[in-house]
């Protein structure tokens, strides 16, 4: 004889799991049924957790979420920008799923409040927010399928943050804009990188943006790429009237 009610008693959720699900519900818009994926989505690799001999952290879910973000945002743009060619659609998708944008969404959702890590939260870089958002997106797909994932992305990213007309004028790489302008006007340019020798624990790089052998601006950051972008942005605003002619 079967007793269906006994199935409900099997593997009841702990108080900690119940609290986790209750905290998760406002973020994803529903109470998930496959809690395993969401536990994984909020487990940082620093915990060094394993399940059946395999790493248990959000990195694979991050990859999956990134894939569906690209697909669903591409579909959104295809429908809402009927006159956009392939280059336009690709550029707009890059703006929507940019690291800056995803970090903003992940921070707004306060995803870091649920993460399990052996690293203090104050030591995480900004990208932790976007990484977690991608991982949660992957978990939603595994829990609710494509339609559920699409609904989540619309609710958290597309509906509140995406204005196509505004995004059309948004610059995602000042360095690319500056290089294109210099090449168009046959101007010699360079990003001269200088390693800093300082007593700071974190290594920094200084970059001079040089146009026609003149230093236009400087940038300083913890990576060469970031320092170049800062220098390029400052140069852009210094030369904005000339660039936008």
Residue where one domain finishes, among candidates 118, 141, 168 = 168
- pTM (global) more than 0.75: no
Per-residue model confidence (pLDDT) at position 4: 54
Catalytic residue of the set 18, 59, 62, 66 = 66
Residue 51 lies in a domain: yes
Residue 218 lies in a domain: yes
- Domain carrying residue 107: 15-168
Residue 163 catalytic?
no
Confidence of residue 6 (pLDDT cuts 50, 70, 90): very low
69 and 19 in a common domain: yes
Per-residue model confidence (pLDDT) at position 5: 46
Q: What angle do CA 171, 61, 111 make, to 5 degrees?
A: 65
Structure tokens at 183: 């090449």
Residue 18 catalytic?
no
188 and 163 in a common domain: no
- The model's pLDDT over 205-242, given as tens digits with 9 standing for 90+, comes to 899 999 999 999 999 988 888 899 899 989 988 998 88
216 and 164 in a common domain: no
Residue 115 lies in a domain: yes
Do 112 and 178 contact (CB within 8 A), yes or no? no
- The model's pLDDT over 193-206, given as tens digits with 9 standing for 90+, comes to 887 766 667 788 89
In this model, does residue 1 exceed pLDDT 80?
A: no
Report for 39-53, 89-103, 139-153: range of highest mean pLDDT: 139-153
53 and 109 in a common domain: yes
Structure tokens at 65: 């979420």
Query: Residue 106: exposed, middle, or buried by beta-carbon count in 10 A (0-12, 13-18, 19+)?
Result: buried
144 and 89 in a common domain: yes
In this model, does residue 162 exceed pLDDT 70?
A: yes
Residue 219 lies in a domain: yes
Q: Domain of 35: which CATH number?
A: 1.10.1520.10
Q: In 3-state terms, what secondary structure has residue 14?
A: coil
- The model's pLDDT over 85-118, given as tens digits with 9 standing for 90+, comes to 998 899 899 989 999 899 999 999 999 999 999 9
Residue 1 lies in a domain: no
Q: Domain of 228: which CATH number?
A: 3.30.160.20
What is the count of structural domains for the chain? 2
130 and 20 in a common domain: yes
70 and 37 in a common domain: yes
User: How many Cα atoms are found within 13 Å in the side-chain-facing hemisphere of 6?
Assistant: 3
Residue 7 lies in a domain: no
131 and 184 in a common domain: no
Residue where one domain finishes, among candidates 168, 186, 202 = 168
91 and 109 in a common domain: yes
211 and 119 in a common domain: no
Residue 190 lies in a domain: yes
142 and 21 in a common domain: yes
Average pLDDT over residues 36-59: 94
Query: Residue 42: exposed, middle, or buried by beta-carbon count in 10 A (0-12, 13-18, 19+)?
Result: buried
Residue where one domain finishes, among candidates 168, 193, 221 = 168
Confidence of residue 10 (pLDDT cuts 50, 70, 90): low
Per-residue model confidence (pLDDT) at position 198: 66
Per-residue model confidence (pLDDT) at position 2: 56
Alpha carbon distances (Å) from 73 to 5, 67, 192, 203, 238: 42, 10, 37, 36, 34
In this model, does residue 9 exceed pLDDT 50?
A: no
- The model's pLDDT over 115-140, given as tens digits with 9 standing for 90+, comes to 999 988 888 888 999 999 999 999 99
180 and 203 in a common domain: yes
**Alpha helix stretches (DSSP H) within 54-116:** 59-80, 86-96, 99-108
Residue 4 lies in a domain: no
Residue 191 CA to its chain's centroid (Å): 26
Confidence of residue 166 (pLDDT cuts 50, 70, 90): confident
Per-residue model confidence (pLDDT) at position 160: 93
Candidates 179, 180, 138, 174; CA nearest to 43 is 138
Alpha carbon distances (Å) from 22 to 48, 101, 116, 222: 26, 26, 16, 38
Catalytic residue of the set 134, 143, 228, 229 = 134
């Amino acid at each position: 004889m079967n007793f269906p009610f006994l199935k409900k008693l099997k593997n009841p959720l702990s108080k900690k799991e119940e609290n986790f699900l209750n905290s998760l519900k406002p973020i994803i818009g529903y109470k998930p049924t496959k809690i395993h994926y969401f536990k994984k989505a909020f487990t940082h690799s620093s915990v060094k957790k394993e399940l059946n001999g395999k790493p248990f952290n959000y990195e694979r879910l991050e990859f999956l979420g990134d894939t569906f973000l690209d697909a669903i945002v591409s579909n959104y743009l295809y429908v809402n920008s009927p006159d956009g060619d392939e280059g336009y659609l690709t550029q707009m998708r890059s703006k929507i799923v940019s690291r800056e944008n995803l970090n903003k969404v992940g921070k707004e959702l306060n995803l870091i409040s649920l993460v399990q890590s052996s690293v203090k939260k104050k030591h995480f870089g900004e990208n932790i927010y976007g990484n977690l958002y991608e991982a949660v997106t992957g978990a939603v797909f595994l829990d609710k399928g494509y339609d559920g994932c699409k609904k989540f992305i619309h609710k958290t990213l597309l509906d509140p943050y995406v204005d196509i007309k505004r995004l059309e004028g948004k610059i995602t790489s000042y360095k690319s804009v500056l290089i294109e302008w210099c090449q168009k006007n046959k101007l010699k340019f360079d990003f001269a990188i200088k390693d800093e020798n300082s007593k700071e624990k974190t290594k920094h790089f200084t970059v001079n943006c040089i146009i026609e052998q003149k230093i236009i601006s400087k940038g300083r950051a913890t990576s060469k790429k970031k320092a170049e972008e800062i220098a390029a942005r400052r140069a852009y605003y210094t030369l904005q009237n000339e660039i936008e002619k």
